[in-house]
Structure 1
Amino acid sequence: MNGRHTSSDGAITLHHDDLPDGLDLGPVVAIDTETMGLNPHRDRLCLVQLSSGDGTAHLVQIRPDAPGGKPADCPNLKRLLADPDVLKLMHFARFDVAVLQHTFGVTVAPVACTKIAARLVRTFTDRHGLAALCRDLLGVDLSKQQQSSDWGAPSLTPEQLAYAASDVLYLHALWGKLEALLVRENRRELAQACYDFLPARARLDILGYEEPDIFSHRS
């Protein structure tokens, strides 16, 4: 059963175990994930948030078939993630792509990452988190109060849903600001090369090549 909620940020629709048939979110979809932790091998995917940039968010709760069991298969969500004609817009895509590829067994591409963009052009600061970027570039204050809440709970609270939705509702606007900076600083092509590498970087992370770093000169 699905549910519709409203928050000060916009309309939120909660789906269970997949996106509905026929839902078209357009050619650029903002995507984020909530998990039980930061290790995709150990910590399961609990929620996937999506937005077309129109002020609404679709949240897919990924429930296991039994305690400790396999996650829902989510064929419609998997189709969108792998669609070469849909750009997946993320913040810190390295993690989100890794957990989505590990959970669903698809290659998530093409991808753009606002964190990579920020690090390429905002070299005057080390503030590249989503909340800092939304505040600095959009004048929007995001609450991070629910960041460490239990995303594996059978029922999510309105506060959790609002927090999760806020992580995708502003990504299109943020991407527009950062794209302009990348062009201004002549780093758009470099950013694209980084984006194109993300699915492979995620596979390396899943295989355990985060450490040792295969690009390092160390023996």
Structure 2
Amino acid sequence: MSITQFMPNGTIHLHRNDLPEGLSLGPVVAVDTETMGLNPHRDRLCLVQLSAGDGHAHLVQLIPTQHGGRGYDCPNLKRIISDPGVVKLMHFARFDVAVMQHYLDITVSPVKCTKIAAKLVRTFTERHGLKDLCKELLGIELSKQQQSSDWGAVELTAEQLAYAASDVLHLHALWAKLEALLVREDRLALAEACYAFLPARGRLDLLGYEQPDIFAH
């Protein structure tokens, strides 16, 4: 079942359990997730947001079977997220990659991450959050009011949906700005090497190698 909601800067399509059959979102798809917390082993994946950068956000609500859903039986979503021909554009991809690899049992690749890009080229500031980047590079104000809300609810509020959609609707424009800075500072190849490592970084995090850091002395 799908529900459409309109907002000033885009259109939200809420899909329960999976994406519609045959939906194509192009070669570069903005992706984000909402979970019950920040521990992938404990805190379940509740929502996956996607956008082709066209003003439409597709939100897939993953509802547990005990609440009338299909759990993580979502073949259309998995197909796009694991497609090696589709670039997944994310902000703080390290977490999103790990949580999707854990719950969807797929390899998430290839990936680009706007947070890594920002840290490589915006070394004059510590403000690398999506809200700060959208404001400073795009002139767009994002509300983070719903960030810590209950994403496990069977019925999500209009405010939650708007918040979730805003996390993917601007990633294409943001990446265009950051990619130009990576090229300008001759760090695009370094960024791409970091992105290629993200699926393995996610697996290391899931194995508990966040601490100790195996790259430390």
**TM value normalised by structure 2:** 0.98
Does 1:141 pair with 2:135?
A: no
CA-to-aligned-CA distance 1:88-126 (integer Å, 9 cap, x gap):
000000000000000011000000000000000000000
CA-to-aligned-CA distance 1:154-180 (integer Å, 9 cap, x gap):
100000000000000000000000000
**Counterparts of 2:146 and 2:8 in 1: how far apart (Å)?**
16
Residue 80 of structure 2 corresponds to which residue in structure 1? 80
- The answer to whether the Cα contact below 8 Å between 1:33 and 1:46 also exists between their aligned partners in 2 is yes
**Counterparts of 2:70 and 2:20 in 1: how far apart (Å)?**
20
**Counterparts of 1:191 and 1:73 in 2: how far apart (Å)?**
33
- The answer to whether the Cα contact below 8 Å between 1:71 and 1:103 also exists between their aligned partners in 2 is no
**Counterparts of 2:211 and 2:137 in 1: how far apart (Å)?**
34
**Counterparts of 2:5 and 2:109 in 1: how far apart (Å)?**
30
CA-to-aligned-CA distance 1:122-157 (integer Å, 9 cap, x gap):
000000000000000000000001001100001000
Give runs of aligned pairs for residues 24-39 of structure 1, distance below 5 A. Answer: 24-39=24-39
**Counterparts of 2:49 and 2:82 in 1: how far apart (Å)?**
16
Give how far 1:22 is off. 0.5
Give how far 1:71 is off. 2.4
Cα RMSD (Å) of the superposition?
A: 1.1
Give how far 1:70 is off. 7.9
Give how far 1:8 is off. 1.5
**Counterparts of 1:177 and 1:117 in 2: how far apart (Å)?**
10
Count of residues paired in the alignment:
216
Does 1:5 pair with 2:5?
A: yes
**Counterparts of 1:9 and 1:60 in 2: how far apart (Å)?**
19
Residue 191 of structure 1 corresponds to which residue in structure 2? 191
Residue 152 of structure 1 corresponds to which residue in structure 2? 152
| Structure 2 segments unaligned to the other structure (5+ residues) | none
Residue 168 of structure 2 corresponds to which residue in structure 1? 168
In structure 2, give the amino acid aligned to 1:71: G
Give runs of aligned pairs for residues 48-59 of structure 1, distance below 5 A. Answer: 48-59=48-59
CA-to-aligned-CA distance 1:52-91 (integer Å, 9 cap, x gap):
0001100000011116x98231101111111010000000
Give runs of aligned pairs for residues 198-209 of structure 1, distance below 5 A. Answer: 198-209=198-209
**TM value normalised by structure 1:** 0.97
In structure 1, give the amino acid aligned to 2:30: A
| Structure 1 segments unaligned to the other structure (5+ residues) | none
In structure 2, give the amino acid aligned to 1:18: D
Does 1:215 pair with 2:215?
A: yes
Give how far 1:24 is off. 0.5
**Counterparts of 1:98 and 1:63 in 2: how far apart (Å)?**
19
Residue 100 of structure 1 corresponds to which residue in structure 2? 100
Partner SS, residue 202 of structure 1? helix
**Counterparts of 2:70 and 2:27 in 1: how far apart (Å)?**
30
- The answer to whether the Cα contact below 8 Å between 2:26 and 2:86 also exists between their aligned partners in 1 is yes
Residue 111 of structure 1 corresponds to which residue in structure 2? 111
**Counterparts of 1:43 and 1:155 in 2: how far apart (Å)?**
18
- The answer to whether the Cα contact below 8 Å between 2:134 and 2:174 also exists between their aligned partners in 1 is yes
- The answer to whether the Cα contact below 8 Å between 1:30 and 1:52 also exists between their aligned partners in 2 is yes
- The answer to whether the Cα contact below 8 Å between 1:32 and 1:168 also exists between their aligned partners in 2 is yes
**Percent pairwise identity:** 73
Deviation beyond 2 Å, 4+ runs, structure 1: 69-72
**Counterparts of 1:157 and 1:43 in 2: how far apart (Å)?**
20
CA-to-aligned-CA distance 1:163-211 (integer Å, 9 cap, x gap):
0000000000000000000000000000000000000000000010101
- The answer to whether the Cα contact below 8 Å between 2:72 and 2:103 also exists between their aligned partners in 1 is no
